[in-house]
Amino acid sequence: MTYAAAANKTPKPKARSKSPAPRKSPAPRKPPASYADAVRSKPRTPAAKPSRAAPKPKTPKAPVRVASGSNFVLDDECLDRLAHWQYHSGGYTVLDTQLNKFWEFAVTLLPLKMAPNLVTFIGLLIVSGAASLMAYHDPKMDTTIAPWLYLVGLLGHFLYQTFDAIDGKQARRTGTSSPLGQLFDHGCDAFITNVVGIFNASCMQYGTSPWTILNTMLNFNVFFLAQWEEYHTGELNTNNGYIGLSEGQFAQFAMMLSVAFFGPESWQVPLSSYVPLVSSLPSPLSSVGDLEVRHAVLFPMGGITCMLAVQAVIRVLFTVKQKNIKTKAERGEKDFDVFNTLGQLVPQYAMYLTGYWLTQSDKFQESPLVLFLAWGVSCSFYTTQVIVAQMSKSSIDWPVALFVIAAPMLLAAAYLNRAFSLGDFDVSDDACVYSWVALLLAQYLYYVFGVCADLSRELGISVFTI
């Protein structure tokens, strides 16, 4: 008998049709290898549903977060709105488009394990270190220092600009984009404006004159108005389509480079030496030619700043707000009435004016760097509050800021200029300045670290690691 014939004699289909019972019985299960396998292998029957006494999977986060001591600055509703914030960028200039090619390459040099906030923070340390080095050799910002120090400042500023531009690209590259990253980025930008002021004042040797405050105020005002406008319109505009942040930074790079090669003295000659036509203008315009170049360059800067400020106010009050902010979800708890909209500008501009008054004091002539940085940190503090309010769709407590940030500065300036006396309780100028600085730093550092800690716990992420 062949193998094929033997196979044909085997009636296997009939044998299975006669005993269908085994098909109905469930197949034997393999013994679970672990407790997790055992749980997954259980049949889904009504008895397997969790009872009411089982662990509560829907326990709200807020009570746990409050109990852990997370809420330093922001309440739960503010954190919830901040956690759902989305970025809406404005337009770009031609220079931004060209620089983006370099930034796209630069971000590929970073390791994928590097957190975006760490990129920003490293840039902050680099530029702050360069400014500290310049301030150490030129504490009154009126002395000619070694050319390599100007180049170090230029390099530090350029590296911060690059790191600031690629931190967002690193976040998208690693899939770690978050509101915390945006908040950390803009908070660092608000502080760096003071550092850039040190670069400019030292290169131009503005020293203890009001030009030191005016130069930094012009830079600061552009950044502040961009944040204030975003609060009302939902869009961050750092340019008007032709001139913006990048153009201003490269103008500063060119200035620092010229100082490194030709010295600060090259900027301390009358404007008519470079532009003879100015002297031929009718009086009193011809007197502009007598201005030193380092002073004359601030006038076009002031004109551009005023133009951007007017454009921002027009967009906020009349155009963009009505187009972008339509629903209650988009408005949140923001204040859009005209009184509060204009009142939000009061603390910042009050501090600008108080900065000029500080320069008139003997203490500023003695140690300008301390008072300059205290003034700058005060402006950064309020700007950071505007950024947080914008991202969390909250109201801007500008009367509180006017009282706790601007008022101490005003009192210090008044006391240093002998506008009032404490009688028998008069204190030294040093005690006045250090008391103001201590109060300012305590508030500023608590606010910055508190906001970062609150949002970090809300999102369940770390600030400096992935």
In angstroms, the CA 283 to CA 290 distance is 12
3-class DSSP assignment, residue 270: strand
29, amino acid identity: R
For residue 244, the 8-state DSSP code is B
Alpha carbon of residue 154 to chain centroid: 21
- Give the contacts of 373 (CB within 8 A, at least 6 positions apart): 194
Q: How far is CA 281 from CA 88, 267, 291, 300, 301, in A?
A: 46, 22, 14, 18, 21
Rounded Cα distance between 224 and 362, Å, is: 29
Cα 397 to Cα 186, 238, 444: the distances in Å are 19, 24, 15
Q: Which of 84, 88, 186, 295 is catalytic?
A: 186
Q: What angle do CA 51, 54, 56 make, to 5 degrees?
A: 120
C-alpha distances out from residue 275 to 88, 112, 262, 270, 285, Å? 43, 51, 18, 9, 13
CB 231 within 8 A of CB 165: no
Q: In Å, how far are 80, 219, 305, 309 from 244, measured between CA atoms?
A: 32, 11, 10, 12
Structure letter (DSSP) for residue 236: B
Q: If we measure between CA atoms, which residue out of 358, 111, 363, 343 comes closest to residue 232?
A: 343
Residue 226 and residue 238 in contact, taking contact as beta carbons nearer than 8 Å: yes
Helices of type H across 393-428: 398-401, 407-416
> DSSP of 101-158, one letter per residue?
HHHHHHHTTS-TTS-HHHHHHHHHHHHHHHHHHHHHH-TTS-S---HHHHHHHHHHHH
Reply yes or no on whether 186 is catalytic.
yes
Q: What angle do CA 338, 344, 345 make, to 5 degrees?
A: 105
Active-site annotation, residues: 186
